[in-house]
Amino acid sequence: MEEFYGTIAIVGRPNAGKSSLFNRFCKERIAITSEVAGTTRDVKKNIFLLKERPYLLLDTGGLDNQNDLFKSVSKHSLLAGEGADLILYLVDGKQPPSNEDKSIFYALEKKNPNIFLVVNKIDNEKEEANAWEFSSFGAKRVFFISVSHNRGINKLENAIEKEFKNHNKNLENLLQNQDEEDLEDLLLEEDNTQEEIINIGIIGRVNVGKSSLLNALLKEERSVVSSIEGTTIDPVDEIGYINNVRVKFVDTAGIRRRGKIEGLEKFALHRTKGVLERTDIAILVLDASKPFVELDEKIAGLVDEYKLGVIVVLNKWDIAHKDFKAIMEDFKLRFKFLEYAPILTISAKNGRHIQKLEEEILKVYKNFSSRLSTSVLNNLIKEATQKHPIPSDRGKITKIYYATQFDCKPPQIALIMNRPNSLHFSYKRYLVNFLRQRMDFSGTRIIFIARGKNAFKEEEDNN
């Protein structure tokens, strides 16, 4: 896990400005903000720097028990607050203190005495003078701020730093008292945190079970699960381990048909695409309990658009609408462009084949990031061209001088040729299939690019 000086949870009822404060601390718009109550549903995490020291900041969903979805949101938020080193309990200073806020504040204070009462939307001194009513909370530390006007934020940050000062001193003393062997172990542990991490995006349309799958992979209830469509809005990311390999799972917002995307979901779609730019492997979740639809194909197209490794998951297999053979026939008809993808039947709800999915993630990532030696690659290309020669270009011989892999994630191979423009896409497809027959490239694209001798040399020199 990444090193940080402490965990800070921003907790409060809907529309108090939690996500705005989260963004202010992080100095960028990470969490979606809106006047719509319940915009934040899952716990959003980010490292933020305070006086050059890293802290883990949690933006929690609004505490509200109006329906089953928000009861689940509230449960996650309260657990995040109870487990944090410091709680910032945020209230709306434009409204008089509510009994519900007081009850929640007292309950949290019993579980975690390290709690600040932060009164937001206090835009000027006059409003602060009128906010005396909030003294009825009996909080030991009260701060009056305005996130939108950047008022009182420095004072709050200084108080946070002071709160963690003793913790930091204890940490420094612990390090000083370590004997040589312990320090060596500590350094080894720190080195391990720098290991490569596999970034995995969980994609699919709304209500196919992405959040349930994330929870099953993490073996804990990390993401809010609800039958209400569009529950996940902000991408939810979490670090986990598969056989001691670090992975970052991101549960992206479900995607609807364009005509049905409304309000907050426009932000969600934009965030999903932003996540995919930083993703290595996409887990495409399809609902096996219903027939595939056109939107499933469009979402699957994002795999090619962002050049990702891919694993297809047929979720809700315990209530599949057809047998395996019939569903696979439908899949092959609609998703011809994903013929290289491994396909698993799972049930995130009861844990069916989750371990198998974890094994597949490591396997696909190995293929996705693999590099072929030049000698092995050229032997394979030579064998392929001998078995099926390259068609001539209007009677002129077209030949490959040599091949070299110039990039990975996914594997990208340059074919250095005398007539690069003459290589037909169908012959590239033949070469891809030939490589797949000889080596394991399941779950990843193989990209061939034809280049002339001089063009590739110039490209290498520029790089």
Q: How far apart are CA 71 and CA 224, in angstroms?
A: 10
Q: Which of 80, 82, 97, 92 is nearest to 118 (CA)?
A: 92
First to last CA, the chain: 34
State the DSSP code for 303: H
The annotation status of 81 as a binding-site residue, yes or no, is: no
Strands 44-50 and 53-59: antiparallel
Task: Tell me how far the alpha carbon of residue 336 is from its chain's centroid.
Answer: 27
The annotation status of 207 as a binding-site residue, yes or no, is: yes
The annotation status of 93 as a binding-site residue, yes or no, is: no
State the DSSP code for 60: P
The annotation status of 374 as a binding-site residue, yes or no, is: no
Q: How far apart are CA 336 and CA 292, in angstroms?
A: 14
The annotation status of 211 as a binding-site residue, yes or no, is: yes
Q: How far apart are CA 322 and CA 330, in angstroms?
A: 10
The annotation status of 315 as a binding-site residue, yes or no, is: yes
Q: How far apart are CA 456 and CA 414, in angstroms?
A: 8
The annotation status of 208 as a binding-site residue, yes or no, is: yes
The annotation status of 206 as a binding-site residue, yes or no, is: yes
Q: How far apart are CA 197 and CA 279, in angstroms?
A: 10
Number of other residues whose CB lies within 10 A of the CB of residue 407:
13
The annotation status of 317 as a binding-site residue, yes or no, is: yes
The annotation status of 62 as a binding-site residue, yes or no, is: yes
Which are the contacts of 173, defined by CB distance < 8 A and separation ≥ 6? none
The annotation status of 61 as a binding-site residue, yes or no, is: yes
Cβ–Cβ < 8 Å for 244, 50: no
Q: How far apart are CA 4 and CA 160, in angstroms?
A: 14
Secondary structure class of 447 (helix, strand, coil)? strand
The annotation status of 132 as a binding-site residue, yes or no, is: no
The annotation status of 213 as a binding-site residue, yes or no, is: no
Radius of gyration from C-alpha coordinates of the chain = 27
State the DSSP code for 375: H
Taking CA atoms, 92 is separated from 55, 75, 98, 145, 170, in Å, by 25, 21, 10, 10, 35
Alpha helices in 232-289 (DSSP H): 264-276
The annotation status of 56 as a binding-site residue, yes or no, is: no
The annotation status of 251 as a binding-site residue, yes or no, is: yes
The annotation status of 121 as a binding-site residue, yes or no, is: yes
The annotation status of 182 as a binding-site residue, yes or no, is: no
The annotation status of 122 as a binding-site residue, yes or no, is: yes
Task: Tell me how far the alpha carbon of residue 83 is from its chain's centroid.
Answer: 22
The annotation status of 210 as a binding-site residue, yes or no, is: yes
Contacts 24+ apart (CB under 8 A), 69-72: 69/38, 69/41, 69/224, 69/226, 69/228, 69/231, 70/38, 72/224, 72/225, 72/226
The annotation status of 15 as a binding-site residue, yes or no, is: no
Secondary structure class of 120 (helix, strand, coil)? strand
CA-based diameter of the chain, in Å?
91
Cβ–Cβ < 8 Å for 449, 415: yes
Annotated binding site for GTP: 59-63, 120-123, 204-211, 251-255, 315-318
Annotated binding site: 59-63, 120-123, 204-211, 251-255, 315-318
